[in-house]
């Protein structure tokens, strides 16, 4: 039993890596545009479908399909900013939230119209590694390493490039940054494109692990929310750490109980954190 | 804000509309039309109850929690213990009130407002849905369950004809609108308005913030819980996805916002608009491809939110007031 729990914990850490990537995008968008992207998980769902179509029906190599998906999701991010978020920047918060929630309805049903309710996946068999007494799925290990590398590149992008500086500055103070000659609108576009591309990357890493269906995204949106709040909204390091905490907690409690109770536990953690420490584990209380 | 309906012609117009609604079933229209209008009444009632707090800046994205709690407690008491839903609904709504009281006290005590309050309530709505699914031995899980049918037995809130539900839900809606008026005339309205505008300033003039917020949250939750029972009795089928969870929790504010949540008629107008739009799209596209109608519906919602940020009724009022003002400046 103990070994089983330990094994679940290891899998949770591996899953946490990919979740950290997902939460990073949500966090970045919240930090910069100050908007809660309700349909973020649905982007991942669309990315998975796109990779599926390109690989299984157009017969492109998997790596190429993944690259196209990343690019397409970036464009979808741009379109979201152009058509939905942009016109609502001055609107009440609730209207922004609901418009993005409207995207959930659009995306999920679009997937339903095009691909139906069936589960679709690419049959990929990565070997299962046996280390000591523990079994680790190769696909999870691959996703974990890939997510860490992507996060490293993102860190460099944010800290070493001019655009990265502009993004971080906008996140800190939108008004002052305008005085410095940064065009905040184009920073928003770049952020949404980067956030979109991230969902494409997450979809690429998810491809060998999950099969996709139209309602695939919602659980990951909620998971990403929980992580972002636990780490402190807008706090990227906090999000990174809490992704692993949530990954381990859900994975271990799923082994001990059922997946629904694991989700309930994650939600309870979320609610408790909101009530007791709304600034998150590492956040400083700004609001 | 004064609505055009309140100026002299208001009472007459209202009486005419109400009279039409009361007499409407007498002309034996198609049962389909009665069904749609009954749904509009039920959801108008719920979105009005939501707006009680929404209009003071207490935006809940988890009213599905109260809808689900009320409906499930009542229906389970009926199915297992044969308790009449008329009595059961008070117990069910008390369950919703209990949930709101715990949640509200915890939130308001630690100063959770705005986005944070919205997210906490969203999580609670999902939590209730998941709990209903997890208790599948008694609730039927995601498959839901059907109410025991007794035929026509008014004592058990079951009727042979849909027309009864039409009148009952109209009565509930009228009650919710009446309560809105009562709240508007009370001291609570002024206090909540002040809290909604600036919490710190409100508390500095001695307004008890937690008590007032708790009060309006509990009233809203109670009515919403009853709304869940109303819907479940009418449809005679309970499902965690239609009564609780994210989808329905977001659908309620959608209706209120698109009508205009700051005015008493806003939520009802928004509901009438959304439900008719939903039905219209479903009838015209739904039969060809599954899902197309929802895609069109989603796009329509987003478009409406972008172009009518104050809601349909709110925008109409604004145009009306602008015209009035410009007329005044000319004379």
A104-151 pLDDT, tens digit each:
989 998 998 898 888 888 887 778 888 777 788 888 888 999 999 999
CB interface of A with B, residues 11-70, below 8 Å: 36
pLDDT at B197: 82
Helix residue ranges per DSSP H, chain A: 2-33, 40-52, 62-80, 93-115, 138-160, 162-172, 174-179, 184-206, 216-231, 236-256, 259-276
Mean pLDDT of A247-254: 90
pLDDT at A285: 47
Is B254 in Cβ contact with A98 (below 8 Å)?
A: yes
Instruction: Tell me how far apart the alpha carbons of residues A68 and A126 are, in angstroms, rounded to a whole number.
Output: 22
Which pTM was predicted? 0.87
CA distances for B155 relative to B29, B41, B42, B71, B85, angstroms: 27, 22, 20, 17, 8
- Could you tell me which chain A residue has the CA closest to the CA of B251? A98
CA distances for A109 relative to A105, B74, B239, B298, angstroms: 6, 32, 20, 9
Chain A contact for B281 (CB, 8 A cutoff): no
Distance of CA B275 to the CA centre of its chain: 13
Chain B residues touching A258 at Cβ < 8 A: 134
The token duo for B312 is 């349909």
* 10-residue averages of pLDDT along chain B (331 residues): 55 86 84 92 96 91 94 95 94 96 90 84 92 90 88 85 91 95 89 85 84 94 96 92 87 89 91 90 74 84 86 82 74 53
- Could you tell me which chain A residue has the CA closest to the CA of B110? A275
Instruction: Tell me how far apart the alpha carbons of residues B242 and A88 are, in angstroms, rounded to a whole number.
Output: 29
pLDDT at B68: 95
Which one of B123, B289, B306 has the shortest CB-CB distance to A87? B306
Yes or no: say if B209 and B134 are a contact pair by the CB < 8 Å rule.
Answer: no
pLDDT at A287: 37
Is A98 in Cβ contact with B305 (below 8 Å)?
A: yes
Q: What is the pLDDT of residues A72-106, one digit of tens each?
A: 999 999 999 999 999 998 888 888 988 998 999 89
pLDDT at B142: 84
Torsion of CA B167, B169, B171, B175, to 10 degrees: -170
Q: Which residues of A89-125 are buried (b: 16+ CB within 10 A; e: fewer)?
A: eebebbbbbbbbbbbbbbbbbbbbbebeeeebbeeee
Instruction: Tell me how far apart the alpha carbons of residues B150 and B156 are, in angstroms, rounded to a whole number.
Output: 8
CA distances for A210 relative to A38, A43, A124, A262, B167, angstroms: 22, 15, 10, 18, 50
Is B116 in Cβ contact with A274 (below 8 Å)?
A: yes
Chain A residues touching B133 at Cβ < 8 A: 260
pLDDT at B1: 47
How many C-beta atoms lie closer than 10 Å to residue A242's C-beta? 28
Helices A138-160 and A184-206: crossing angle in degrees, nearest 10, is: 160
**Nearest CA-CA distance, residue A133 and chain B, Å:** 32
The token duo for A132 is 């000591």
Is A106 in Cβ contact with B298 (below 8 Å)?
A: yes
pLDDT at B325: 75
Q: Is the ipTM of this complex over 0.90?
A: no
pLDDT at B187: 85
A286 pLDDT band, cuts 50/70/90, is: very low
DSSP H or E run through B164? helix B162-185
Is A276 in Cβ contact with B295 (below 8 Å)?
A: no
Chain A contact for B298 (CB, 8 A cutoff): yes
The token duo for A109 is 């049903």
Mean pLDDT of A219-234: 86
CA neighbor of A139 nearest in space, from A65, A204, A58: A204
Q: Give all domains of chain A, ordered by start, each with its CATH number.
A: 2-276 (1.10.3470)
Instruction: Tell me how far apart the alpha carbons of residues A212 and A40 are, in angstroms, rounded to a whole number.
Output: 15
CA neighbor of B271 nearest in space, from B19, B38, B18, B11: B38
Chain B contact for A131 (CB, 8 A cutoff): no
Options 1.20.1440, 1.20.1630, 1.10.238, 1.10.3470; CATH for B4-330 is 1.10.3470
CA neighbor of B52 nearest in space, from B312, B266, B311: B266
CB interface of A with B, residues 158-177, below 8 Å: none
């Amino acid at each position: 039993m103990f070994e089983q729990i330990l094994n679940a914990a290891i899998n949770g850490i591996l899953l946490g890596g990919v979740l950290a990537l997902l939460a990073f995008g949500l966090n970045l968008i919240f930090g910069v545009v100050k908007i809660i992207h309700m349909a973020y998980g649905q982007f991942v769902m669309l990315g998975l479908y796109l990779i599926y179509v390109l690989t299984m029906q157009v017969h492109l190599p998997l790596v190429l399909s993944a690259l196209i998906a990343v690019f397409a999701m970036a464009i979808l991010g741009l379109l979201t900013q152009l058509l939905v978020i942009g016109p609502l920047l001055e609107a009440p918060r609730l209207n922004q939230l609901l418009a993005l929630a409207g995207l959930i309805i659009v995306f999920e049903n679009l997937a339903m119209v095009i691909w139906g309710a069936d589960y679709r996946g690419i049959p990929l068999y990565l070997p299962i590694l046996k280390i000591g007494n523990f079994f680790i799925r190769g696909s999870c290990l691959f996703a974990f390493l890939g997510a860490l590398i992507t996060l490293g590149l993102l860190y460099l992008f944010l800290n070493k490039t001019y655009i990265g500086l502009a993004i971080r500055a906008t996140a800190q103070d939108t008004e002052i940054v305008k005085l410095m000659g940064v065009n905040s609108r184009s920073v928003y576009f770049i952020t949404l494109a980067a956030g979109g591309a991230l969902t494409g990357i997450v979809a690429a890493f998810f491809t060998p692990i999950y099969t996709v269906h139209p309602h695939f995204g919602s659980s990951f949106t909620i998971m990403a929310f929980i992580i972002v709040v636990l780490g402190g909204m807008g706090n990227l390091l906090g999000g990174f750490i809490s992704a692993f905490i949530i990954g381990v907690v859900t994975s271990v409690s799923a082994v001990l109980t059922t997946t629904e109770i694991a989700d309930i536990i994650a939600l309870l953690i979320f609610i408790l954190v909101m009530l007791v420490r709304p600034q998150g584990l590492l956040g400083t209380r700004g609001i | 804000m004064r609505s055009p309906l309140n100026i002299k012609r208001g009472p007459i117009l209202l009486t005419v509309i109400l009279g039409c609604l009361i007499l409407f079933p007498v002309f034996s229209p198609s049962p389909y039309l009665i069904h749609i209008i009954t749904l509009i009444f039920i959801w108008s009632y719920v979105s009005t109850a939501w707006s009680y707090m929404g209009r003071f800046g207490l935006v809940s994205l988890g009213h599905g929690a109260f809808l689900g709690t009320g409906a499930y407690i009542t229906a389970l008491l009926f199915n297992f213990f044969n308790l009449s839903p008329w009595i059961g609904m008070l117990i069910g709504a008390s369950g919703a009130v209990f949930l709101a009281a715990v949640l509200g006290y915890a939130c308001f005590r630690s100063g959770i407002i705005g986005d944070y309050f919205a997210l906490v309530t969203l999580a609670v709505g999902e939590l209730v849905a998941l709990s209903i699914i997890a208790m599948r031995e008694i609730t039927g899980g995601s498959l839901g369950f059907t109410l025991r049918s007794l035929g026509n037995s008014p004592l058990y809130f079951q009727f042979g004809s849909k027309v009864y539900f039409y009148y009952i839900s109209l009565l509930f809606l009228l009650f919710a609108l009446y309560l809105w008026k009562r709240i508007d005339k009370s001291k609570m309205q002024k206090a909540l308005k002040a809290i909604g505008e600036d919490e710190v300033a409100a508390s500095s003039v001695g307004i008890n913030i937690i008590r007032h917020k708790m009060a309006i949250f509990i009233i809203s939750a109670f009515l919403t819980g009853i709304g869940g029972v109303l819907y479940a009795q009418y449809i005679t089928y309970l499902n965690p996805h239609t009564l609780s969870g994210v989808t329905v929790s977001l659908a309620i504010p959608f209706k209120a916002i698109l009508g205009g949540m700051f005015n008493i008629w806003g939520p009802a107008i928004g509901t009438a608009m959304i439900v008719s739009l939903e039905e219209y799209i479903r009838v015209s596209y739904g039969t060809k491809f599954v899902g197309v109608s929802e895609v069109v519906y989603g796009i329509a919602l987003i478009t409406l939110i972008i172009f009518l940020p104050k809601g349909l009724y709110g925008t109409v009022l604004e145009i009306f007031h602008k015209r009035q003002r410009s007329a005044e400046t000319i004379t």
